[in-house]
């Protein structure tokens, strides 16, 4: 059996080769891609491509690019690096470091589903790494030493990734500012992951690094207790819970929680930001001191083994799938010819197609599959250009592309 063709929306994207669409959200599509280096080697990257309807909003695009340029200046082992940003054709995008791992939104529930307790010290170690990345961003200056004033604004489980090598990375610095601006412009209200926002963020006040510290406190509270700190039946109820609701000490839900750790957590969750940790480095110092005094301090190797254990079957399947899709993706020469086919399809959209006749038997080992569907002259010429190269994989991809076009046009 020949390898399956890549899913829709893969192929060439500027200097990148899109391998697999990882996720689609309201703001962007996310792809695993390969970037070819000067020596011919291909490096995996992640492409976050802004959805077309947002690309039409100039205010959003401007803020998105400005925030991404600031984030691109961050260079720290606990922050996902941005390599490139800009516009290709009509699509605005960010190219960033590829991290093979799982975000914490998936890690903790996966452990629970498998009946594996999520170790307290792992939660603290991951939070310490997040503090290190946050402090770098919060204190980063430009070439002249002027503070960039970068605040993440969306510290939440899905933006904290534990790689399969045991490293911890923070995703999407600064992007939340652009996303929130877009939501406010469209709906006149704050959107986002409300449950992890700081009180000042909910109230629309100016925010600084202490907002990220509060959000990390909320995340760590959830990891340690298994309970979400701020909930409600509506967004307004969640916001009231954050600004006015009672914050129960984590030992209320987990009696064996060390008192020293509870003190750290409650300080991070002070509603009065002047009483909170004033820097992420201060919080990291206390977390590390707690780990040093504990019976066991995890290393990246411990985290690596734990994550691999949780996602062993998933990881093996993912590697097989990506290997197949990478092998099936067109070369740059083939992609150029296939783009001619796509252009021909666009030209032919208004041309009614007769009922297809049964296709003649073809041997895929010697020539591309022939199609019995009559098409307009432009499309026929594009198909002939591919067929002349006697390229089986390109011919197969063209055939499948045509079948999809005829089905959904």
- Catalytic (active-site) positions: 154
Radius of gyration over alpha carbons of the chain, in Å?
25
Vertex 196 angle, CA 194 and 202, to 5°: 50
Burial per residue of 134-169, b for 16 or more beta-carbon CB atoms within 10 angstroms, e otherwise: bbbbbebeeeeeeebebbbbbbbbebbbbbbebbbb
Which token pair is 87?
A: 């516009």
Q: What are phi and psi of 402, to 5 degrees?
A: -65, -40
Q: Which residue has the tokens 């309970």?
A: 227
Residue 201 and residue 191 in contact, taking contact as beta carbons nearer than 8 Å: no
Pairwise CA distance, residues 71 & 75, whole Å: 9
Pairwise CA distance, residues 336 & 172, whole Å: 32
Tell me how far the alpha carbon of residue 62 is from its chain's centroid: 21
CA distances from 345 to 244, 289, 339 (A): 58, 63, 10
- Closest of 177, 193, 172 to residue 66, by C-alpha: 177
Question: DSSP labels for 287-321?
Answer: HHHHHHHSS----HHHHHHHHHHHTHHHHHHHHHH
- Closest of 305, 373, 361 to residue 101, by C-alpha: 305
């Amino acid at each position: 059996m020949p390898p399956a063709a890549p899913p829709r929306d893969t192929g060439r994207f500027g200097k990148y080769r899109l391998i697999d669409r990882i996720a689609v959200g309201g703001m962007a599509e996310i792809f695993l891609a390969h970037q070819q280096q000067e020596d011919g080697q291909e490096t995996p990257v992640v492409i976050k491509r802004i959805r077309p309807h947002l690309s039409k909003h100039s205010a959003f695009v401007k803020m998105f690019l400005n925030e991404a340029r600031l984030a691109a200046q961050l260079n720290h082992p606990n922050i996902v690096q941005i390599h490139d940003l800009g516009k290709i054709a009509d699509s605005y995008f960010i190219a960033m470091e590829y991290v093979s791992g799982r975000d914490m939104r998936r890690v903790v529930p996966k452990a629970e589903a498998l009946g594996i307790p999520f170790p307290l010290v792992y939660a603290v170690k991951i939070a310490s790494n997040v503090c290190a990345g946050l402090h770098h961003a919060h204190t980063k200056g430009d070439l002249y030493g002027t503070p960039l004033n970068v605040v993440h604004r969306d510290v939440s489980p899905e933006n904290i990734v534990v790689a399969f090598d045991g490293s911890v990375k923070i995703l999407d610095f600064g992007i939340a500012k652009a996303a929130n601006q877009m939501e406010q412009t469209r709906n006149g209200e704050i959107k986002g992951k409300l449950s992890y926002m700081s009180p000042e963020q909910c109230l629309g006040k100016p925010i600084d690094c202490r907002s990220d510290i509060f959000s990390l406190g909320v995340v760590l509270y959830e990891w340690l207790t298994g309970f979400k700190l701020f909930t409600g039946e509506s967004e307004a109820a969640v916001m009231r819970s954050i600004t006015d609701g009672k914050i129960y000490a984590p030992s209320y839900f987990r009696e064996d929680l060390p008192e020293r750790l509870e003190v750290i957590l409650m300080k991070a969750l002070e509603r009065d930001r002047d009483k909170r940790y004033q820097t992420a480095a201060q919080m990291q110092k206390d977390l590390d001191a707690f780990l040093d005094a504990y019976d066991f301090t995890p290393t990246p190797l411990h985290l690596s083994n734990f994550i691999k254990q949780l996602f062993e079957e998933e990881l093996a399947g993912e590697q097989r799938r990506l290997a197949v899709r990478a092998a099936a993706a067109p070369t740059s020469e083939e992609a150029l010819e296939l783009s001619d086919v796509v252009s021909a399809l666009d030209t032919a959209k208004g041309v009614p197609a007769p009922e297809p006749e049964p296709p003649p038997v073809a041997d895929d080992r010697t020539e591309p599959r022939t199609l019995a569907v009559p098409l307009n002259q432009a499309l026929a010429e594009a198909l002939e250009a591919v067929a002349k190269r006697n390229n089986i994989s390109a011919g197969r991809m063209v055939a499948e592309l045509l079948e999809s076009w005829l089905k959904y046009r």
